Amino acid sequence: MPAWRARLVAETTIHSTPSLTREAAAHVDGQVAAVAGRIGAAQLDRLVAETIKRFDLATPDAAADPVDGYLHVDPRHVTLHDGDVHFAGTMRWEAELGIADSLDLDHVLKHRAAEQKALGSTDSLDVRRAKALGDLARTQTALDLDLDLDLAMGMGGGFEARSARTSTTEGTDLSAARELVLHVHFNASTVGERTVFGPTGRMEERHKLLLLDQARSWCGDSRTRIIVKPVIDLNAQLSAPGYDIPDRIREHVILRDQTCVFPWCTRSARRCDLDHVVAYDHDAEAGGRPQPGPTATWNLAPLCRHHHRLKTHTAWRYEMTGNGVFEWTSPHGHRYRRDRTGTIPIDGPDDVPPRVPRPRRR
């Protein structure tokens, strides 16, 4: 790996605030070692931040905002670089916002840019978004936020946040300015009669770290309406007759595994195929044979299209050894264990991740 990448990993972990314990550093090492040659600064920062929260190393003020504290620094800011004026009469802004505020702003700008195009604007998307941001400075909008809370107990949880304006744009087919759905997963366990969630979660859409305190702050907003949906027990075993996968089983597998289950793949499970781990025999019923690969949660796993083809047409093989736990064997006999927490080489700590060539584009 390039020396500068090794230096990036070392400096980020050595100089983290607060300092990592030996156990926390080992956790970071286990996640980074296999991909150190291609990990980026943003991914590394998120991993260290999640580790600090996972091992309860930060001690933020209880009265502080949920965004603050996980690195003892609140990174949010909005800065106008007024000393650098472009000859076209523009200035540069730089901002870092909370997750909810960022997604809200992005949806508003996207809607208003579409509004401008529907009204005949020929400007580029970037220009229309910039104009929309300027319009926000001259107008005042009142937007109500509705949150739907969808909890999944056992191995994880889902959190849906949906917001929408009460009116639509007259004279166009555009939807309301804000319609936002977030899927966020938190580990959950039952202690006595209470459900206890882990301190960190992950957003499905962009694989971003989310703190439980942030989700609580959204739910605690006076403008928020909470809807509690039926609990999805990810430890339950579901099955269905035939080859087609019902929506309830599909959602169960997606929530359980969260990503493609091939070693070190991070593609969202919602964008993956659901693969029968043991192949479904379409002729079993006609031949009077028992079905070797039933359509059931214990025989289904999300695989992105590339890794699905790899499993089907090459010597890569895998099996499910537990609920959401998979063991892969490469064509060279190397073995890997994959679950929700990541990938671990079974052959030994010095084993390297699989290098799978991507098909060339033509």
pLDDT level of residue 66 (50, 70, 90 thresholds): very low
pTM above the 0.85 mark?
Answer: no
Are the C-beta atoms of 97 and 65 separated by less than 8 Å? no
Q: Which residue has the higher pLDDT, 141 or 19?
A: 19
What average pLDDT does the structure give for the chain?
A: 76
Kindly write down the DSSP assignment for every residue of 278-293, as one continuous string: SPP-TTHHHHT---SS
Average pLDDT value for residue range 274-284: 91
pLDDT at 153: 46
Are 201 and 215 contacting, i.e. CB atoms less than 8 angstroms apart?
A: yes
Q: Is the pLDDT of residue 314 over 70?
A: yes
Rounded CA-CA distance 259/117 in Å is 36
CB 349 within 8 A of CB 306: no
- Residue 4: CB atoms within 10 Å: 7
Indicate whether 3 pLDDT > 90: no
CA pair distance 140, 328, nearest whole angstrom? 55
Which of 40-54, 148-162, 168-182: highest mean pLDDT? 40-54
Residue with tokens 């600064």: 41
Q: How confident is the model at residue 338 (pLDDT cuts 50, 70, 90)?
A: very high
Q: How many residues would you count in the chain? A: 362
67 pLDDT higher than 80: no
Rg (CA), the chain: 24
The label of the residue with tokens 């770290």 reads: 209
For residue 68, give the 3-state DSSP assignment: coil
- Peptide bond connecting 357 to the previous residue in cis, omega within 30 degrees of 0: no
Please write the tens of the pLDDT for every residue from 120-168. 999 999 999 998 888 887 665 433 334 444 444 444 444 444 443 333 4
The more confident residue out of 159 and 253 is 253
Residue 103 or 228, more confident: 103
DSSP 264: T
The share of the chain scoring above pLDDT 90, in percent, equals: 19
- Band of the pLDDT at 44, cuts 50, 70, 90? confident
d(CA 200, CA 186): 6
